Amino acid sequence: MSFIARFVCLLVFPVSCNAALAEIHASNAAGVAIGHVHLAVADVAACRKIWRDFGASEGALGKQTLLGIPGIYILLRKSDAAGPSGGSAADHLAFAVRDLAAYRQKLLAHAAKIVTDDDAAGVILGELPGGIRVEFRRNEAQEHEIEFHHVHLAAVEPDKLRAWYVAALGAEASARESMLSALVPGGRVDFMMTDAAPAATRGRAIDHIGFEVDDLEAFAARLREQGITLDREPEFVPELDLVVASLTDPAGTSIELTQGLRGK
């Protein structure tokens, strides 16, 4: 979107234009890109305020609140989470920010528990009220004030879990700071080793992660050919104007697949 078009859009349609800043990236060769994450929160209004303070734009997906950060959408579901994200298969979400000190203050202002604060390394990990862990990483050179960076998954055998994401989603095998990683357009999935099997994500603070797929019916067929069972077969959901399917990875992370979220 050009500067003039964005300026006019902001004057006339401020919410819809801001939401476009999420801009799901172009898909990989398998037709997959980072799409969204769905959070279970007891107080939607309070959580929405936190994410708006972090820099998210706000829109709607049907009756659900849709928050946009460059690279990903965040959806909020009113629910008392069964447990925090820490200890589950989806430990935390991570975002790159230009001003790390500002985000340290934002975390403190929203009564977050600081889990890790390493200014030399440029990393802060906080746990928001309700148990959602969020990491901020310094990147002063990036285009936006905040951008999606990665979702951090826990597994007893991270090498096998990465191999599953490479095979299932067409992700690119990678590594970051001695951790195994899988690149997906829009960000990455990082894998950390745990001694014990983590809790499944369904019902936890980070309920599920989501990927946008170009052709969900064809993609689902390829998953079946790999012997992967879908928890929910692709179906069109009129109230969301999306085709939706779901599955669970070997470590217990719930995954939602969407077709049509890009551009919402």
Tens of pLDDT, residue by residue, the chain (264 residues):
333 333 333 333 333 344 344 689 999 999 999 999 999 999 999 999 999 999 999 988 888 889 999 999 999 999 999 999 999 999 999 999 999 999 999 999 999 999 999 999 999 999 999 999 999 999 999 999 999 999 999 999 999 999 999 999 999 999 998 899 999 999 999 999 999 999 999 999 999 999 999 999 999 999 999 999 999 999 999 999 999 999 999 999 999 999 999 988
- Is CATH 3.40.50.1400 correct for 9-259? no
pLDDT (tens digit, 9 = 90+) per residue, 93-138?
Answer: 999 999 999 999 999 999 999 999 999 999 999 999 999 999 999 9
- Kindly provide the residue ranges of all beta strands, DSSP E only, lying in 42-83, ordered along the sequence: 57-61, 64-69, 72-78
Please give the structure tokens belonging to residue 154.
Answer: 């826990």
Q: What b/e string do you get for 203-221 counting C-beta neighbours within 10 Å, with b at 16 or more? A: bbbbbbbbbbbeebeebbe
Q: In a 10 Å sphere around its CB, with 0-12 CB exposed, 13-18 middle and 19+ buried, how is residue 145 labelled?
A: middle
Helices and strands (DSSP H and E) totals, the chain: 6, 16
Instruction: Write down the pLDDT at residue 18.
Output: 41
Instruction: Write down the pLDDT at residue 190.
Output: 98
Instruction: Write down the pLDDT at residue 210.
Output: 98
CB neighbours of residue 240 within 10 Å: 16
Location of structure tokens 């979220």: 261
DSSP three-state, residue 221: helix
Please give the structure tokens belonging to residue 30.
Answer: 């398998």
**What is the residue extent of each domain of the chain?**
9-259
Phi, psi of 189, deg, nearest 5:
-110, 120
Q: Which amino acid is at 3?
A: F
* CA 68/CA 65 separation, integer angstroms: 10
Location of structure tokens 């401020």: 14
Q: What global pTM score does this model have?
A: 0.90
Q: Which amino acid is at 161?
A: L
